[in-house]
């Protein structure tokens, strides 16, 4: 169904070439979707531009996971009003999670918008652009896979290949995101994702393997598998029934030419020693697990509908550290979930102190429409959330710095991914445990594996010198 529509859209838009600008907010899945859409539009005869001033079509790919993300998007959207006034023929579209959540009401608040499409309807965008030319306002929301997850006819080189390691000025993209499963069935009580990205849908294994091979043929060295919950991956095509995430990961790691393989995000209720053993068995899989804890208090975890206890989480950490030496561990935490007491929060701090994560993503709880948590009493004042977040960072900053200091003098095998934007003459790479490391070096080395000795560190980064090239 998606490919039919995509095909028709491609033909109808070929006639007029337009310059388009896409800005991406939010998660890696959005980045992968934007890269795919960009490829689609180029295939349809349009041209990409990095300059919104010269664009005839401006598209924002949006995130609704926290209220702050929505507010930021709305500010950016308001900033386009003068441009639209100056150039009424400018086409402005919103895609992704905010239109999926807010739907047509957006046209009332932002009359300068031309089209809206949910994350599952990106294949309709070429057609929406074409139909927006007469000033119409159009919205498409229905539940099916986004184009890069359905269509065997999708652009061979257009999808999946995105930064953080985008080769600049014609350089090679050595890093790519590869979505393997979209949507989420977990319905954590705070989370809007099941309402914006719909139910879980796994891509056929064969299609994923083919895409990984295509990426490698195009010069990609690092692939990051994406899914809201990668551990729920389950092959659905009859032929290969039974393939779950550990098996899929093992098969991709076995393809030749993949120097590094990563994945995110995992769910603590679904990870198992089977997965950890696959990681341990393949030297090209990053020794890194991102395992969101959210809270260290059992009563809060229950109210969050997370499906595990703090003891279960600790047990998984113990197992994974035993099976994978040198593992880096990161996590997500929410502070100030409704009803969170000082005692609950202290339980979160003690899991953090005990586990010693390499780093965290920590957020203040944010009410989201349609979620169960929105209806809960016991909302925590903003000031308390801020205080708790500050206390959390004070603890974690110390742990992160200490962990990084432990690497000083050690040697890692580093995949060089891109030139540093901030430090000319430096390359950004990742060690075997996916920690980022800056190394002085020539851009020609991007894509190669080198031995790097860590010479200094700060809380966020390692700095090193190249010893020798290994691949």
Q: Could you tell which of ligand SF4, ligand 5AD, none binds residue 154, using a CB distance below 5 to 8 A set by kind? A: none
β-strands 260-264, 222-226 pairing:
parallel
Q: Are 118 and 140 in contact, with CB atoms under 8 Å apart?
A: yes
Q: Which is nearer to ligand 5AD, 107 or 190 (CB)?
A: 190
The answer to the question of residue 361 lying near ligand SF4 (CB under 6 A) is no
Q: Could you tell which of ligand SF4, ligand 5AD, none binds residue 189, using a CB distance below 5 to 8 A set by kind? A: none
First to last CA, the chain: 43
Choose, by CB under 6 A, the member of 229, 231, 266, 418 that binds ligand SF4.
229
Site string for ligand 5AD, 171-200 (x = CB under 6 A): -------------------xx---------
The answer to the question of residue 96 lying near ligand 5AD (CB under 6 A) is no
Q: Are 102 and 110 in contact, with CB atoms under 8 Å apart?
A: no
The torsion region of residue 307 among left (phi > 0), alpha (psi -120 to 50) and beta comes to left
**With CB under 6 A, what is the number of residues at the site for ligand 5AD?**
12
Q: Where are the beta strands (DSSP E) in 257-346?
A: 260-264, 288-290, 328-335
Angle separating helix axes 28-43 and 125-132, nearest 10 degrees: 60
Choose, by CB under 6 A, the member of 69, 77, 129, 184 that binds ligand SF4.
184
Q: Could you tell which of ligand SF4, ligand 5AD, none binds residue 365, using a CB distance below 5 to 8 A set by kind? A: ligand 5AD
> Which of the stretches 82-90, 106-114, 184-192, 346-354 binds ligand SF4 when contact is defined by CB under 6 A?
184-192
Long-range contacts from 4-11, C-beta under 8 angstroms, 24+ separation: 5/123, 5/124, 5/127, 6/40, 6/123, 6/126, 6/147, 6/151, 6/153, 6/154, 7/153, 8/127, 9/44, 9/123, 9/124, 9/125, 9/126, 9/127, 9/130, 10/40, 10/43, 10/44, 10/126
Q: Which two tokens stand for residue 396?
A: 């974690």
Q: Could you tell which of ligand SF4, ligand 5AD, none binds residue 184, using a CB distance below 5 to 8 A set by kind? A: ligand SF4
The answer to the question of residue 374 lying near ligand 5AD (CB under 6 A) is no
Residues 6+ apart with CB under 8 A from 422: none
Q: Which of 60, 291, 24, 332 is nearest to 164 (CA)?
A: 24
Q: Could you tell which of ligand 5AD, ligand SF4, none binds residue 194, using a CB distance below 5 to 8 A set by kind? A: ligand SF4
Q: Which is nearer to ligand 5AD, 316 or 368 (CB)?
A: 368
Choose, by CB under 6 A, the member of 35, 334, 380, 466 that binds ligand 5AD.
334
CA 257 to chain centre: 23
State which H helix or E strand residue 208 sits in: helix 205-217
Q: Could you tell which of ligand 5AD, ligand SF4, none binds residue 368, using a CB distance below 5 to 8 A set by kind? A: ligand 5AD
The answer to the question of residue 264 lying near ligand 5AD (CB under 6 A) is no
> Which of the stretches 81-89, 107-115, 181-189, 419-427 binds ligand SF4 when contact is defined by CB under 6 A?
181-189
Residue 97 DSSP code? H
The answer to the question of residue 250 lying near ligand 5AD (CB under 6 A) is no
The answer to the question of residue 30 lying near ligand SF4 (CB under 6 A) is no
β-strands 115-117, 91-96 pairing:
parallel
Which residues inside 348-367 make contact with ligand 5AD, applying CB under 6 A?
363, 365-366
* Nearest-approach distance from CB 367 to ligand 5AD, in angstroms: 7
Choose, by CB under 6 A, the member of 128, 129, 191, 320 that binds ligand SF4.
191
Q: Are 279 and 266 in contact, with CB atoms under 8 Å apart?
A: no
Q: Interface with ligand 5AD by CB under 6 A: which residues?
A: 65-66, 190-191, 292, 294, 332, 334, 363, 365-366, 368
Q: Interface with ligand SF4 by CB under 6 A: which residues?
A: 184, 186-188, 191, 193-194, 228-229, 267
């Amino acid at each position: 169904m998606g490919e039919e529509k995509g095909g028709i859209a491609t033909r109808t838009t070929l006639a007029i070439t337009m310059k388009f600008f896409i800005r991406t907010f939010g998660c890696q899945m959005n980045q992968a979707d934007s890269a795919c859409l960009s490829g689609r539009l180029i295939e349809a005869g349009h041209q990409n531009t990095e300059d919104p001033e010269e664009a005839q079509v401006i598209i924002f790919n949006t995130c609704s996971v926290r209220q702050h993300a929505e507010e930021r998007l709305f500010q950016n959207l308001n900033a386009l009003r003068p441009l639209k006034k100056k150039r009424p023929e400018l086409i402005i579209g919103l895609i992704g999670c905010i239109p999926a959540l807010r739907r047509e009401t957006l046209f009332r608040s932002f009359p300068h918008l031309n089209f809206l499409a949910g994350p599952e309807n990106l294949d309709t965008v070429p057609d929406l652009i074409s139909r927006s030319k007469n000033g119409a306002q159009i919205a498409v929301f229905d539940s099916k896979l986004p184009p890069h997850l359905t269509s065997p006819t999708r652009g061979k080189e257009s999808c999946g290949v995105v930064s953080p390691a985008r080769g600049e000025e014609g350089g090679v993209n050595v890093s790519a995101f590869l979505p393997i499963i979209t949507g989420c069935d977990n319905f954590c009580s705070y989370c809007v994702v099941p309402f914006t990205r719909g139910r879980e849908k796994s891509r056929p294994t064969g299609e994923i393997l083919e895409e990984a091979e295509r990426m490698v043929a195009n010069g990609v060295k690092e692939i990051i598998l994406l899914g809201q919950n990668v551990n729920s991956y389950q092959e659905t095509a009859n032929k290969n029934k039974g393939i779950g995430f550990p098996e899929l990961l093992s098969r991709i790691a076995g393809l030749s030419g993949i120097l590094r393989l990563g994945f995110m995000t995992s769910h603590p209720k679904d990870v198992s020693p089977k997965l950890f053993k696959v990681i341990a068995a393949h030297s090209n899989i990053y020794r890194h697990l991102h395992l969101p804890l959210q809270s260290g208090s059992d009563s809060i975890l229950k109210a969050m509908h997370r499906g595990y206890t703090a003891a279960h989480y600790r047990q998984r950490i113990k197992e994974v550290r035993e099976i994978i030496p040198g593992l880096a561990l990161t996590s997500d935490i929410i502070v100030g979930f409704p009803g969170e007491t000082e005692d609950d929060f202290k339980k979160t701090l003690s899991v953090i102190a005990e586990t010693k994560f390499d780093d965290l993503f920590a957020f203040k709880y944010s009410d989201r429409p349609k979620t169960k948590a929105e209806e809960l009493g016991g909302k925590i004042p903003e000031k308390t959330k801020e205080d708790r977040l500050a206390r959390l960072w004070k603890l974690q900053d110390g742990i992160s710095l200490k962990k990084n200091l432990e690497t000083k003098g050690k040697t890692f095998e580093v995949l060089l991914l891109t030139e540093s934007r901030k430090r000319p003459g430096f390359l950004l790479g990742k060690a075997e445990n996916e920690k980022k490391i800056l190394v002085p070096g020539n851009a020609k080395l991007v894509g190669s594996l080198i031995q790097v000795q860590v010479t200094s560190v700060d809380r966020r980064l390692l700095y090193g010198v190249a010893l020798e090239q290994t691949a």
